[in-house]
Structure formats: C-alpha cells, structure tokens
Structure 1
Amino acid sequence: MYDEFCMNFKQYLRHHSSNLCKNKELLEILGPFYGLSNFDTYENWKLRSDIRYYETSNLVHHLSTNIDQYPAFEMFYQELCDQGYDAHKSEEFLSDIIVDQLKLINLLLGPATAEHQKIGS
C-alpha cells in the first residue's frame, strides 16, 4: 500500500506540476505528502523540529481516526507506523485542509480503494 501511494504521488506531481506554483491551496494540501512519501525527508524534518514534521504526524494521526470512512487507511497507517512514522494530534492545522488531504490520500492509495471525491468539495 505504501509503495503504491509513493508511486501514485509521483505521478500526481508530474501531472499537476504546472499548477503547483500557481495554486497555494494545492501546495498546502501536498506539503506533508513529501514526508509521507520519503521517510528520510520526514526524519530530517523531525530532527530539525520542522513544522512539516508536526503536520505530517498530525496527518498520520488522522489516518488512524478515519479508518471507518476510508478502510484502506488501516493498512496504510500500519505500514507508516512500522516504518517509524509518528501519529500526533495537533490542533494547529486547518480541518478543511486535512479533509482534502485525506481524500487525496485515499485517491492515491489506488483506484480500487478510491471513492473518487473531488478535492476541495
């Protein structure tokens, strides 16, 4: 599941690269995905107490609390924990962004698990 997420995230970036620098909301949504798709990046953020570490850890927490709505999150969350990702809840991040991040993660986990929901709706 993790490998599929990483592969699909890279494809998503290639497809949307021209929109990234023009769309601030998309940049906010994708920020923690760079850490989710690369553990070394995540660890670097953690060692520097970078806000992106806390945002990514908050997103991992929300994966665990949304398994009922998105069943694919259970396996993905477990794989993240097995790799050493932390799950820490934080109130500092906007719930609307988190909802969109969760929808996009669900989409990136693969067509069999995606509930083709429009991001930003």
Structure 2
Amino acid sequence: MSGSVYRGPLAGVASLTINGEPWSIVGELQWQPSGLVNETLKGQSSVEGFSSMPGQGFIQATLRDRRDRKVSSFQGASGLEVVAVLANGKVITAVNAWHVEAINLNTQEGTFEFHVESDTVTEDTV
C-alpha cells in the first residue's frame, strides 16, 4: 500500500456562519465550488469539442430557526459571506453571495432551507 491513509473524521459534524454569525445546521449541508463549467459541443457528424463558461458555486443547508433573528432578512439578501467548516477540516467560503429561492419555514421542526450562490465559492484544506 503506497501513500498515507487519513484516519480522522471524514464526515458528520459541521458548522456554518453567515456574516460571522453562527447558525445551527440541522442537516443536508451541501456545496459546489465556483469555476469553469465545460459543455460538450456536438455536430451531426461528430463530437466537435467543448465550450467553457464561468459557473457559480453554492452553499446550502437546512438550518434551525432562531428566536433572536428574522429569517425573512435572508429573502433576497446579497453581499453575504457564508463559511462552512466540515468534519474533515475543510473550510468552504462563499464571498459576496446572494440568497436564491423562496424561504419556507417548517414550524413543526423549526427549520428552513438556506441556499446561497456566488461566483466565488472556495475550498481550503488543512
């Protein structure tokens, strides 16, 4: 066996801040880095190559509603900095992000879906 195998946490616990303020993640934290997105270009006789366009990244999670903050303030918000720290030590950052989609609150669980997109979503490793 060549190389080293990491034996620490790989998944599970995560934290999230929005503009430096911590929020409780209930589940389903997901992210996608920003960067180029390639699309295959096909003609009737062959695959001719590809086009490359800039693509936005995202961070999304199911968050817990809080008594001290208005969730409605995120609806249509922009200029957000969202930082997620993952169990494996990676730090995912969305800079100057904007909230997309409508916010729906689940009052039985006290949760809502949070989804931001940005042209700058980066992954830092430790």
Question: TM-score of the superposition, structure 1-length normalised?
Answer: 0.25
Q: Whose radius of gyration is greater, 1 or 2?
A: 2
Whose helix proportion is higher, 1 or 2? 1
Write 1 or 2 for the structure with the bigger share of strand.
Answer: 2
